Structure formats: C-alpha cells, structure tokens
Structure 1
Amino acid sequence: MELKTIEEKIRYCNSLTDYSRRETIPVKVGDLIIGGDNPIVVQSMTTVDTMDTQGSIDQAIRMIESGCELVRITAPSIKEAENLRKIKEGLRERGYRTPLVADIHFTPNAAEVAAQIVEKVRVNPGNYADKKKFEVLEYTDASYQAELERIRERFLPLVKICKANGTAMRIGTNHGSLSDRIMSRYGDTPLGMVESALEFLRICEDERFHDIVISMKSSNTQVMVQAYRLLVQKLDEGGFKPYPLHLGVTEAGDGEDGRVKSAVGIGALLEDGLGDTVRVSLTEDPEFESPVVKTLIDRYLHRPEKSGIPPLDSYPLDPFGYTKRKTVEVGNFGGGNVPRVLTDISRLEQLEPKELKGTGHFYLPELDKWKMNDQGCDYLYSGSKPVPFMLPNGVKEIVDYEVWIGHSDKKNSYPAISPEVLSEKRELHPEVNFLFLACEQMEDAVPLLTNSHPLVIVLATEKDHQMQALRRAFVTLIQAGIELPVVPKVTYAQKDTEKTTLYAATDVGGLLIDGLGDGILIGLDRLKLDQRQELLDQVKLHNSVSFGVLQAARTRMSKTEYISCPSCGRTLFDLQETTAMIRKRTDHLKGVKIGIMGCIVNGPGEMADADYGYVGSGKGKITLYKGKEVVKRAVPSERAVDELIEIIRQDGQWIEPEASEHHH
C-alpha cells in the first residue's frame, strides 16, 4: 500500500511518539470544568434506585469520598428526574457540591425535567428519539432527511432548556444501542457510532449550544478505540469545535478482567492524549470504580511531553480499522497462531515443580503428572537459572544464550540472544531463537534481520513512554519489510497489583488493538523484591494479567467472557450475586461470551457482542437470548441459570466441568 504522510492521514492525535494532550474547548459542569487544560475528571454512577433518596445520597457520598468528581444517576422516567432535586439538596445540606449528571435513555420528557435540576444530562442518540426493533429499513435520501427532522423536533426542546439553564450535555453513543436507522445506513460500525453523535451535535451547533462532551462506548475494545479516533478526525474534518471526550468501555465486568478490559480501551486512548473525563464500568459497588480511574489517569500527571523517540513521517497502519501485522510463522509464533504468553521466572533459583502453579501448570505429586488450566503459559523465561526438572508438555523454556550453548539438551530449550550473537553468526537453534532487543537498538538491528531467520523478537524499552516506543519500533520493522513475529516486553518498577494490571493492559493492549504483537511478556527485572513468596505472587499476577490482556484485546480467547453492566437504579436483580453464580457454573467454557444485563436499556444491544444473554425483564423474571434472538421469556430467576446452560447445551457449546476444574 502506498504510505500517506502522517499529517494527511491521521489527525486523531497530536503525536504518535510524544505525549501530547488533544486541545479541547472547556465545558463547565457546575463548579467543575471538563476539557481545556484542566486535569482529567473522574466520574462514576450510582447503583441504588433513584427513588431511594437517602440511599442515593449515602452512596454518592461514598463515591465522592473515594475520589469521584462527577456523580451520574439514572432517570428513566419523570418521577426519578424530579427526585434528583431531593438528592441534590441532600448532598448540598451535607456540604457536598459535586455536580450531578442525569442519565437518560428513551425518555425526552425526563431529560427536560432533569436539565432544570442537575448540572449535566447524558442522552443516548441511539434511543433518545428512536425505537429499536432490530428492523432493517430502506431509506431514500428524502425519507432519511425526514427522520432527521423528526429527531430535531424531539431533541430541540432539551437543547433550549440546557442553554437557558447553563446545563451541560453528554452525547453518549453506545455501540450496542445504535438506532435501526443508523444500522441500516452504516451498519454496526465505528462510523455508524460517530454519525449517530454528529446528527445530534449538528442540532446543538445550529442552536449555538456548545457545552457538550461526547462519548463512543462499546464493550468491544477494538470498536471503542476506533470510534473515538474516528470521532476526533470527523470533528476536525467537519469544522466542529473540538469537544471534550468522555472515555469508557461499557460492561467491562468485574475483578481483574473488568480492570484489564477497561484499561485496554481507555489506556490506548489516554496514551495518544485523548480523553477529558473517564468512567470505569465495573460490576462492583461504584466506590470501587474511582480509584481505578485515578490509577489510570495519574500515570500521565508526570509524563514528560517529549519522549526522545524519533518522530514518524508516515504511518503504515489504519487507526480506524483492525488489520493484524503480517508475520511469517516461526515455531508457534506469528502466521495464523494466537499470541503467546511468555512468563518471566528468571529471578527464581532452584524452582520446585509445585511452584509453577502460578503459571497455570499444576504438578500432581501423587500421580507424578502435570495438569494445565486455560491460562497455562506457553513459554517460561528462566534466563540464567534453568528449571532443574523436566517441564510438562504444554510449556517450553527460554534460557540465556550462554546457558543454552552449554546445555546438554539444546533441542528442548530455546536461546535468548542479543544482536551480537546474530552479527557474529554464532550457533543458533534451528527452530526458534528469541532476539531480546531494546526499541532504541531497532535501527541498528534491522540490517541483521531477514524473514527467513528462525527468530522471534522480544522488544523492550527503558522509556516511560513504553507504548509509544514499542509502536515506533514496530513501524521501523514494517517499513523495512521485516515480518518476523514480535513479543512486546513491558516492565514496571512498582509492586502494586492494580498498577501492573492497568499499565500492562494499556501498553500491550494498545498495540494489540492495532494488530501489533504476537505475544506478551511482563518482566520481573525492575521490581525490587526480596522474598521468594513475593516473587511467586508477581509471577502469578503477570501470568494471569497476560492472558487477560490478550482476551480483552480480542486476540486470544482463553476463558469465558462476561459482558456485565454495573448495576444501576434500573437493575431488576442483584447483578454481583448473579454474575458470581453464572461464573461459578460456566467459567470453564473457553471463549464463550455471556452477557449479563440488569435491564433492557443496555440489554440486547450492548450484548450484540455476546453469544448468550441473561437479561432482567421484570421482578424475578429473566429473558434468555442466543445472540440477539430471544429464546425464552419470563423465566423465573431461580431456574434461569439452568435454562441458560440448557440453551448453551442445545447449541453444542456446552462441556461438562471436570470435578477438580473449579477449585484450582
């Protein structure tokens, strides 16, 4: 393909090599300002019923105390919208001035009430003036225009109220709830998401109303990242003002998975300077969300703008569509292989078989056998301390070159080599060699590389800007026509579980979303650890985060994926308990995606990505889906999980769990 210069092709961020925040207009929300040159704002959403005034106030206070700067509350109908006044008064009486946002779907009249009470309203263009029936509609240009006029009539009163009251607005597109009209014209695409928001934005701009924040949420991290980039490009091309962005991955799930998935999408955008307010959606109490957002955004407080990475004059990737980098197959890397997990154990001496359990490989001494779970790593990097026993079948060992060259069994371990070994043409393994390379050495290394070498490049950097440095080195390889597989290696100096989880998801997930990377290695080298147990805990964390990142970036499905929304005032059952119960019964199903939704607003649409769905449809009643099709309605909740399993069974996707499987 011919390479366009970066200026011509990419306007979605200021720089691909430095850290530079996108300039936006400032939007005032109560005492808070989103965008401009203000810090990124932390926000979250209440989960208690909006009609429970005291419960809402208490929960909002817990959220604010945990770092939340903007509190969103659902207002599905007029009575909830009116009750926002009591909640707001209750917070003010207790000395809290945190601005409130009303979350509106389907009900323009509730939005119009809320806009006169709270500091900001969120509307979803997919269902504000459209009903979704999953119909395919054929439009002529004239009939499409007539639809836009109808939307204008429904939406204009709200714009006028916001303008008169100094109320800000978020136009929040959801991938899962695009209107039938948008779906019919643009399909289920990032472009459809962007166009959906721009239709509403044009109406606001005609009215000279500019207090607007925009979001492009999806539960698919690839779609989400592409949609935000495309939005920035289209705002720029269309001569719109540069509005601030609200970042979020919908229905990320809970625990480590929810954190990894959020960081892959949100982190990839923050790295490129996009995003002015952030919400992380976890299926946990909302006061747990803000600290995660803080950890994600605080990373950029001290990030120097200049990285010292050579700038790019052209960019061979399409930032708005996913194409995997073309690679030759080396061993089980590259080509059509899934990305591989390399787990670093190089600081553990005299390892015992039972200590491998953190890498997903279980030694059963009574049977003298090995067992592996879904997250058994593919390679162990043992460096200069080779494993003193015979490894199980599912895992291979990488050792430093000096160890390998003196090894009695050179065939069953693979060497980690430096560029010098290559340039001196020393003995190599006939199948796979791991070339450990710093991004900064890439220019010098390229002349030593050919696509016929049995080489996998393990790429690392000493820079704070890890993702930019890695991405820049990939571009050098692509421009040189080198198609060898590459495994990004990232290292973090802190022993903080949450930081390691979020940073690795950002740095490697951000590359994988762009089709870069054939594996992942989280290194132990910068960690200051003394105790063996601490090291083993880190190995376990790195192994599990590695699989999580590959899954969240949609590149290797090794476990059941749960797409679940944070419960909110609309939820018809206890989401955390239900999610836990469904996980307990289904978490051995590899690569199956199950949507667990509290209500129909984000229901079938947001689950567009899921294979099966479990959606609250009334008190104690559940509707079960296969894809977008309803399979069973109004199933009593006590039978619903069994019925869900029955649907999966009839579909041929069910496997019985092994007795020991659940408790490893």
Structure 2
Amino acid sequence: MDTQAAAALKGIYCNSITQYSRFLTHEVNIGGVKMGGKQPIRIQSMTTAFTMDTEASIAQSIRMIDAGCEYVRITAPSIKEAQNLLEIKKGLAAKGYHTPLVADIHFTPNAAELAAKIVEKVRVNPGNYADKKKFEELNYTPEAYEKELARIKTKFAPLVEICKANGTAMRIGTNHGSLSDRIMSWYGDTPKGMVESAMEFIRICHGMDYHNLVISMKSSNAQVMVQAYRLLVKTMVAEGMNYPLHLGVTEAGDGEDGRIKSAVGIGTLLEDGLGDTIRVSLTEEPEYEIPVAQALAQRYENRTQIAEEDLENPDFDLPAQYSPFEYNKRESAELNTFIGGHQVPRVILDLSDQNLKDVNILAAAGYNYSPILDKYNMGDQSIDFAYLGDKLPSFNFPGNLKQLYNYQTWLTLNDKTNCHPLFTLKEYISASQKDVALNLVSVKHRDLDGDDFANIPFDKTLVFVLETTTEFGMMDQRSFFFKLMNAGIDTPVIVKRSYQFDDAESLAQKELKTQLYGATDLGALLLDGFGDGVWLDAPQVSTKFRVSTSFGILQATRSRISKTEYISCPSCGRTLFDLQETTQMIRSRTDHLKGIKIGIMGCIVNGPGEMADADYGYVGTGPGKITLYRGKEVVKKNVSSDNALDDLIGIMKDDGMWVEKEIV
C-alpha cells in the first residue's frame, strides 16, 4: 500500500503531518499548461472587467499575464458572455498571448456547454449549477435523495461529454456560502457538506471516465476552508482518486487583511503538502494578486522533499483530542487569569532594539501616552508582553503591559512588579530564584528528548516559548504540541517565529514576506488549536508592522478579535459597483466596530450565501441598487447606492450594534 493510501486509512489527509512531503495528484493538461503531479504550483487570477467589453478584458488579461498569471479566469454568466470569450481569446492571440482561459459559470449550464468548446477550462459551482438556493430546509428519504442525484447527472453529463470531446479541463469549485438547500438539508452547513457537494459531481465525472478535473473548497473562513480541503483529500483517496487542488480563501478582502487571511488558509495547506494552483482573492486589481500568490508558492519551490521511504509511519501516535477536520483548542493551564486556558492568545513584541528613553515607542505597541493626563490609552491592538532583553526603560510602563527580561538581567531588578524572566532551559533548571507569577522558558522541539527537559520542575507559573530553526518550522512546532499532548503536559505555549530576509530586498518585499510567512506558520498552528500566544520576530520591519500583523493573524484564525472584519469579494465582470471604492467607503465609517463582520458583495451570485457568517451584508442587485442583509435575511431591497451605507448603519443602530467612532 502506498503512503497516501495508508495515511488516508489512518485518518490522515496528507503524506505526513509532521514532515514536509508534497501530495502527488493526477496531472491535468489545461491548454498546454499542465497542473498537478510534479508540476510547479500554478498561479492564476480572474478579470474584473465586464466580459462583453472585449478590449477591456483583453487589456486586463495582458496585465495579469505579464505579472505572472498562468491561467486567466473570466466570468460567463450567460450565453452572450460565453460566446464573447472567443473574441477575447482571438484578441489575446493576435497580441501574442496564448495563456489558457477559464470560463467561470454558476447558474447557466448552456453557457458552460458553449464555453467548454471555446476555452481551455470551465469552472462550475456544484451549489448552483443544478440546484436553486432559497434557504429552505428540505426533507428527503434516501430514495428521494438518490433521485436527486440522478437528476443532477442528467443536467451535468452533457457538459462532461463536451469537455471530453474538446479536451477541456474543468474545475468543480465548491463555495461554503453557496451550498445548495439540498446539501444543507442533508449534510448541514459543514465542511462535510462542502466535500459531498463536490464529490457528487466528481463521482459523475469519474464514472464517465473523465479525469481532467481540478477541485476547490473555498470559504471566507480560513478554518472552514482548511478543514474542507483536508476532508476532501481523505475522501478522494479513500475512493481511489487524487485530483489536483485549486487553493483559495474566497472574499478575503483587501490590503493587510486580505493577504493575511489568504496566507492563513492557503499557506496552511501548502505546509501540509497540498495544493497545485492558487488564487489569492483580493478586493484589488487582479494583477496585484499575482505577487502575493507567487510569494506563497515560491517558498515551496526549493523546499526539501522528504523521500517517501523516509516519511514517518502513518501510525504516528496522534493525540486523541486532536482532529485535523474540526477545531479543538489544546487544553492548557490558565495562569493567573492571564495566559492559557480560556484566555485569548497573547501578543509578544520585541522592543529590545528600540530607544527605551522615548515614551512614544509604545505607541506602535498600542499604548498612546497622554502627557497632560500622564496616562496611557490602550487600543484594540495593544500588546500583552514587551520583551526588553537586557535593556532597562527610563520611564514607567503602563500597568497592564508585562515586561520580559533575560533571566540574568531580571535578577538585578530592584522592583520586579509586572516584570518576568525569560530563561534558557538550563537556566530554569538550575535557577535559585524564580518569579512567583510567570516564568517563561525558551525551548525547541528537540529539547523534548533531552535530559534537561526531563528534569523540568513543572508548576503553575511555567510558560514555554517555542522556537524553531529548522526548514520545516511549522511541522517541527506542530510535532512539539503533539508530544506535549500525548505526555499530558498542559503548560501554556507561546509560539515564536523569527524571520531574516535578504538585505537586498525592498522594505515592501520584506513586509509582504513577514505577513505571508507569519500567517502561514503561526496561523497553521492556531487553526489546529495550538498556541497560547504569538511572538513574531522580524527585526527588518517596523514594530508597528509586527504588531498589526500579529493581531491580523489572530483575527484571520478567529483566535482573538480586535477589529471589524470585511468579507468582500474580489470583483469580476458580474459586479454591479466599484468594489474597491465601495469597500473603502464602508471601511472608513465602520472600521471601529470591533468584532462585527460585514459582507460586501458585487452581485447576488456572491450574495447572501457567499457572505457565509457575516453579521451584515451590502449586496449589489442592479445598477445603483443595493440590497441590505442582516445575516442571510433581507432587510431592505433595492436601496439607492447613495443612501445604502446610511441605511446599513441605521440597521446596526436598530440592533444595538452601533457605537460612535471616537475622535482622537
């Protein structure tokens, strides 16, 4: 039995969850640009121009291709757009561009069947290709459900035959927010429902001997997305399939939030060895998505591949309370009601390289000093620990900001109030004096097997600071958590990741990599329920950037909420307003609403379902017309876009969810 099959039988979704090994998939040919197998991770994006505007679509496609896009996706919501894909294709060819085109289809099988004769790949959404969505609960007997599957095959099979005849590839793309009423009623709003939604269509293709398939499981919730992909792979392998995976977090948003949320989801799966093509969905111009996707993919181009024969046995003893398919936070001791247990993950910032004579250095850490009041004002993104190393500040720190010092320096402090030591493992074992509240000890995974670790005097003041220097840092740290859990050790753990980039790189490149690598490495562990704190060590970027990135990772993993969350689609030819402009307008008036999730959708295809778990929704329903939602409930229809944001705020006020923005 091969490694993949053996792993699947043990409930593992990839070759190894403790060592890096790329999961090999079936190779698919998409217009001569192959995907899957041992091919590189492919980069793609989607146009936002109106599909019937041929010249605009061509120009935008060229900008995307020049940026490094290897597949260009274009929406085809009806026959006329599908037909115009031929003109776009001819126009690109005339300018010397032959990049494969992908038609994006939702509700219109006839458009899909036409597009499949023109372009190299079609994308269908099983949630709305053969079903209508009315948010109704339906009751089926097993026999009735089987009849529904037969109905779907009748509607879907003609497209499969056309794709076979024309050598056209297909992506079966499930979206968490657009699961059909049938799937929702039978399987629930779950990763299992997402997987079965795709598998129904995959099984039809498989049974018709059509294998030019790519599969995706997208959600705006990175945790749901990761669980769904993992369960999909396990399900496919159990049924003798290994189709390539298209990775993406849908409606990720823009700016920092969009990049971090995308990296949490996509990066976690890439670390697992999963993923053959990626699309980063940002509410920005599509060519801006490409460098982000490239930075994610390039990290794995030269990643050392563990040989199959050297992989750990799939019988690796996973902790009983761990499941890769559902979220369970590791149980840790709660120390002084501050860290561990049910407390939110804490944020640590290294200030040892800063001017500790300047009281304003804490502004970047979320503490603004008022000389008039002689007090600090905390923000929603205020750090919890400041690491000062061997340096002493010349001013008093705010009372709720804990200071960390290297052990030998901590010993010299006359006043140790709110000050805690950071030990090496050897220092902690031999220390004659320790803190009565919190003692932090730096450890690495390999320390678990040493004599020093065996001699640790465990008590309810101990916190581990977990570091790593290996190439497979995330899996190295994940293994540490597995072994702690198997040993019954509930000591809280702060996860520390350190990054040093080439000095020749620009600041923007260093910042992007800090965001993406940090979101991947810390985010993957947080999604698995591991970590009572995060310490992002990246001295080449500013302290403010490190703080913002740390809190952004916690927000994207839903581990600690510190700001408003925007679930905004990346736009396409169906969009009925300027998404970038509208998102910024809404953000400017609502970005102080901590914990509120606002969905901003350009059309009804990406409407109430696609908003998933948004608290409120702003959805385009016609030129200049907006429909407003509370959750998935329509509150106001066809509101003028001139008044829609005011009306949305009015709904929040009626719900008691609105607070006025403080003027600083």
Do the two structures share a fold, i.e. TM-score over 0.5?
yes
**Cα offset for 1:429?**
1.0
Q: Is the 8 A contact 1:222 1:513 kept in 2?
A: yes
Query: Which residue of structure 2 aligns with residue 345 of structure 1?
Result: 351
Distance in 1 between the 2:195 and 2:457 partners? 42
Q: Is the 8 A contact 1:126 1:173 kept in 2?
A: yes
Query: What aligned pairs does 1:248-397 form with structure 2 within 5 A after superposition?
Result: 248-306=248-306, 313-316=316-319, 317-331=322-336, 332-397=338-403
**Cα offset for 1:283?**
0.3
**Cα offset for 1:597?**
0.5
Query: Which residue of structure 2 aligns with residue 216 of structure 1?
Result: 217
* 2:441 counterpart of 1:438: no
* 2:652 counterpart of 1:651: no
Q: Match for 2:542: what amino acid?
A: Q
Q: Match for 1:60: what amino acid?
A: S
Distance in 1 between the 2:384 and 2:635 partners? 39
Q: Is the 8 A contact 2:401 2:418 kept in 1?
A: no
Q: Is the 8 A contact 1:6 1:314 kept in 2?
A: no
**Cα offset for 1:391?**
1.0
**Structure 1 residues 228 and 202 mapped into 2: Cα distance closer, same or farther (>3 Å)?**
same
Q: Is the 8 A contact 2:67 2:291 kept in 1?
A: yes
Query: Which residue of structure 1 aligns with residue 3 of structure 2?
Result: none
- Counterpart of 1:630 (choices 630, 634, 655) is 634
Distance in 1 between the 2:45 and 2:560 partners? 30
**Cα offset for 1:223?**
0.6
* 2:584 counterpart of 1:546: no
Distance in 2 between the 1:339 and 1:306 partners? 32
Aligned CA-pair RMSD: 1.6
Q: Is the 8 A contact 1:26 1:244 kept in 2?
A: yes
Distance in 1 between the 2:8 and 2:163 partners? 37
Gaps of 5+ in 2: 1-5, 502-506
After TM superposition, the structure 1 stretch with the greater mean CA deviation from structure 2, 561-570 or 453-462, is 453-462
* 2:412 counterpart of 1:406: yes
Query: Which residue of structure 2 aligns with residue 104 of structure 1?
Result: 105
Q: Match for 1:170: what amino acid?
A: R
**Cα offset for 1:230?**
0.4
**Structure 1 residues 6 and 164 mapped into 2: Cα distance closer, same or farther (>3 Å)?**
closer
* 2:588 counterpart of 1:606: no
**Structure 1 residues 645 and 450 mapped into 2: Cα distance closer, same or farther (>3 Å)?**
farther
Distance in 1 between the 2:469 and 2:304 partners? 14
Query: Which residue of structure 2 aligns with residue 48 of structure 1?
Result: 49
* 2:527 counterpart of 1:521: no
Distance in 2 between the 1:48 and 1:8 partners? 46
Query: Which residue of structure 2 aligns with residue 464 of structure 1?
Result: 471
Q: Indicate the percent of aligned positions where both proteins have the same amino acid.
A: 58
**Cα offset for 1:351?**
4.0
Q: Match for 1:288: what amino acid?
A: Y
Query: What aligned pairs does 1:421-432 form with structure 2 within 5 A after superposition?
Result: 421-432=427-438
**What CA deviation, in whole Å up to 9, does each residue of 1:183-232 have, x standing for no partner?**
00110011100100010011111110000000000011111001000000
* Counterpart secondary structure, 2:206: helix
Distance in 2 between the 1:275 and 1:435 partners? 36
**Structure 1 residues 414 and 6 mapped into 2: Cα distance closer, same or farther (>3 Å)?**
farther
* Counterpart secondary structure, 1:601: coil
Q: Match for 1:651: what amino acid?
A: D
* Counterpart secondary structure, 2:126: coil
Query: What aligned pairs does 1:167-206 form with structure 2 within 5 A after superposition?
Result: 167-206=168-207
Q: Match for 1:314: what amino acid?
A: D
Q: Is the 8 A contact 1:6 1:313 kept in 2?
A: no
Q: Give TM-score, length-normalised by structure 2.
A: 0.95
Distance in 1 between the 2:662 and 2:77 partners? 44
**What CA deviation, in whole Å up to 9, does each residue of 1:566-622 have, x standing for no partner?**
011111111111110111101011111000000111110111210111101111111
Distance in 2 between the 1:502 and 1:282 partners? 14
Distance in 2 between the 1:113 and 1:539 partners? 53
**Cα offset for 1:642?**
0.8
**What CA deviation, in whole Å up to 9, does each residue of 1:116-159 have, x standing for no partner?**
00000000000000000000000001111111111111101100
**Cα offset for 1:7?**
6.7
Query: Which residue of structure 1 aligns with residue 489 of structure 2?
Result: 482
* Counterpart secondary structure, 1:548: helix
**Cα offset for 1:478?**
0.8
**Cα offset for 1:484?**
1.0
Query: What aligned pairs does 1:30-109 form with structure 2 within 5 A after superposition?
Result: 30-109=31-110
**Structure 1 residues 280 and 130 mapped into 2: Cα distance closer, same or farther (>3 Å)?**
same
**What CA deviation, in whole Å up to 9, does each residue of 1:488-532 have, x standing for no partner?**
1001111600001000000000000010011100124xx5x5xxx
* 2:520 counterpart of 1:506: yes
* Counterpart secondary structure, 2:26: coil
**What CA deviation, in whole Å up to 9, does each residue of 1:335-394 have, x standing for no partner?**
110111111112224341112221111123344332222111111111111322111233
* Counterpart secondary structure, 1:273: coil
Q: Match for 1:552: what amino acid?
A: A
**Structure 1 residues 170 and 398 mapped into 2: Cα distance closer, same or farther (>3 Å)?**
same
* Counterpart secondary structure, 1:638: coil
Q: Is the 8 A contact 1:621 1:637 kept in 2?
A: yes
Query: Which residue of structure 1 aligns with residue 131 of structure 2?
Result: 130
* Counterpart secondary structure, 1:151: helix
**What CA deviation, in whole Å up to 9, does each residue of 1:623-653 have, x standing for no partner?**
1111111111111111111111111111111
Distance in 2 between the 1:291 and 1:7 partners? 34
**What CA deviation, in whole Å up to 9, does each residue of 1:91-112 have, x standing for no partner?**
0010011000000001001000
**What CA deviation, in whole Å up to 9, does each residue of 1:278-316 have, x standing for no partner?**
000000000000110000010011211249998782112
Query: Which residue of structure 2 aligns with residue 532 of structure 1?
Result: none
* Counterpart secondary structure, 1:91: helix
Distance in 2 between the 1:350 and 1:138 partners? 66
Q: Is the 8 A contact 2:7 2:14 kept in 1?
A: no
Distance in 2 between the 1:64 and 1:25 partners? 25
Distance in 2 between the 1:235 and 1:390 partners? 59
After TM superposition, the structure 1 stretch with the greater mean CA deviation from structure 2, 102-111 or 391-400, is 391-400
Q: Is the 8 A contact 2:217 2:247 kept in 1?
A: yes
Distance in 1 between the 2:557 and 2:110 partners? 39
* Counterpart secondary structure, 2:243: coil
Distance in 1 between the 2:159 and 2:605 partners? 20
Q: Is the 8 A contact 2:219 2:249 kept in 1?
A: yes
**Structure 1 residues 446 and 189 mapped into 2: Cα distance closer, same or farther (>3 Å)?**
farther
Distance in 2 between the 1:596 and 1:500 partners? 27
Q: Is the 8 A contact 1:589 1:655 kept in 2?
A: yes
**Cα offset for 1:538?**
2.2
Distance in 2 between the 1:597 and 1:393 partners? 43
**What CA deviation, in whole Å up to 9, does each residue of 1:383-417 have, x standing for no partner?**
11132211123321111111111101112211111
Q: Give TM-score, length-normalised by structure 1.
A: 0.95
* 2:242 counterpart of 1:242: yes
* Counterpart secondary structure, 2:44: strand
Query: Which residue of structure 1 aligns with residue 151 of structure 2?
Result: 150
Q: Is the 8 A contact 2:340 2:532 kept in 1?
A: yes
